[in-house]
Amino acid sequence: MKPEFLALGLLGSLAAAVPVQDLTLRAPSSEVPRLVLYYQTTHDSLGQPISMLPLITEKYIALTHLIVCSFHINLDGSIHLNDNPPDYPLFYTLWNETQVMKDAGVKVMGMVGGAAPGSFSAQTLDGSDIAFEIYYSQLYSAIVEYELQGMDLDVEQPMSQAGITRLVRRLRSDFGPSFIITLAPVASALRGGANLSGFDYKALETAVGSSISFHNAQFYNGFGNMASPTDYERVVTQGWNPQKIVAGQITTPSNGGGWVPYDRLNATIAAIRTRYGQIGGIMGWEYFNSEPGGLAQPWKWAQVATAILRPNDVPQLRITRDRAQRLTQSWKDSVSATAPASGPDVVAAVVPDVEPNVDYMAMVNA
Ligand SMILES: *[C@@H]1O[C@H](CO)[C@@H](O)[C@H](O)[C@H]1NC(C)=O
Ligand SMILES: *[C@@H]1O[C@H](CO)[C@@H](O)[C@H](O)[C@H]1NC(C)=O
Ligand SMILES: *[C@@H]1O[C@H](CO)[C@@H](O)[C@H](O)[C@H]1NC(C)=O
């Protein structure tokens, strides 16, 4: 990463200048419009952790939900975060930083599933009650261990209606009313068009809709588009509450098809709000390479999305000296860890004594 990626020295003064919000005044509906971002690529091409903290330390970003992904349920194996167990040292920085994000008021969720099949198969989470208990317990443990505040179910393989209903009900009963349960359908699946999940989202809404906070609807890759309000309106006219439909966008043309220029997206969102009063929010897939900042300044996407959704609502940052020291240490420990498996997010070699490219100590403000 380039040095400007880490130019965070002004953070302390920025955070101090922001008036402290009374969190008790925040009714659940005030999270709308949401700004949701998936965080999947955890390391850069040098094997160094990609810090998520600019999303709270840079100005003019009102991120509401960060979704750490992708958790995969492996048949006859253990749960993985991308290519490795989530407790692998590679992820020390990730799990230390999510604590800071939460303190700043950002909801930190996980996502299970995605493009790689397996998590929702008839042998795993969509299986017999015995199979379900085995694999669900891995998901349950990950939520507990990493203190995840919600789980996004990105079902991109056929799953039964009974299976998805069982999973939603179980998460709700195990984690209580404040736990955030979301799904990530392709947009067309919300109106009876092309789908990847098999089951019927309207029927799921009828069965357990009160347990589902919102949908991260994928308006890209040919399943919907936000270049105009048409596709979003097609979903809403099927009976969906627009406050529950977050418009998913790819954050760069590199991440898929159907990228929409930001002035165009702004015009679409404005039209939707004129018509329905509000929109559920904007979701971005994914953080590390978002335009317009690209690899060097991926948080700029969140600045643009905030300008579209709601300027001047910046989450709070609070970092003590002790926490900054721990973040510095976990960054070093992440980088020096040796990798047990191969894969795109694995450190290739032991890198001794590398100083973090994030100045955590400069963030101390409490
Ligand atoms: C989902 O798509 C498949 C074809 O790919 C279709 O058979 C099925 O009926 C669809 N499900 C719903 C609920 O529309
Ligand atoms: C979005 O469009 C509105 C007009 O509809 C305009 O006032 C506003 O400045 C635009 N915002 C951005 C971020 O482009
Ligand atoms: C934070 O990093 C340290 C290593 O510096 C590690 O021992 C600890 O488990 C990490 N915290 C979490 C929650 O992963």
Task: Report how far ligand 2's centroid is from the alpha carbon of 227 (Å).
Answer: 15
Map residue 147 onto helix, strand or coil.
Answer: coil
Q: What domains are there in the chain, each with its CATH number?
A: 3-320 (3.20.20.80)
Task: Report how far ligand 3's centroid is from the alpha carbon of 324 (Å).
Answer: 13
| 197 touches ligand 1 (CB under 6 Å) | no
| 343 touches ligand 1 (CB under 6 Å) | no
| 270 touches ligand 2 (CB under 6 Å) | yes
| 271 touches ligand 2 (CB under 6 Å) | no
Contact predicate 277/240, CB 8 Å: no
Q: How many CB atoms lie within 10 A of CB 348?
A: 11
Using CA positions, which residue lies closest to atom 9 of ligand 3?
Answer: 92
Task: Report how far ligand 2's centroid is from the alpha carbon of 308 (Å).
Answer: 7
Convert the pLDDT of each residue in 96-139 to its tens digit.
999 999 998 999 999 999 999 999 999 999 999 999 999 999 99
DSSP string, 214-270: EEEEE--TTS---SSSHHHHHHHTTT--GGGEEEEEESSGGG-S----HHHHHHHHH
| 117 touches ligand 1 (CB under 6 Å) | no
Q: Which ligand is nearest to the CA of 100?
A: 3
Convert the pLDDT of each residue in 188-208 to its tens digit.
999 999 999 999 999 999 999
pLDDT score of 351: 54
pLDDT score of 334: 84
CA distance 247 to 266: 12
CA distance 351 to 366: 32
What pTM did the predictor assign? 0.86
Map residue 113 onto helix, strand or coil.
Answer: strand
Q: Amino acid identity of 162?
A: A
pLDDT score of 312: 58
In this prediction, the residues of the chain whose per-residue pLDDT falls under 50 are 1-29, 339, 341-342, 346
Q: Which ligand is nearest to the CA of 268?
A: 2
Q: Which ligand is nearest to the CA of 204?
A: 1
CA distance 58 to 14: 9
Task: Report how far ligand 2's centroid is from the alpha carbon of 172 (Å).
Answer: 38
Atom number in ligand 1 closest to CA 197: 1
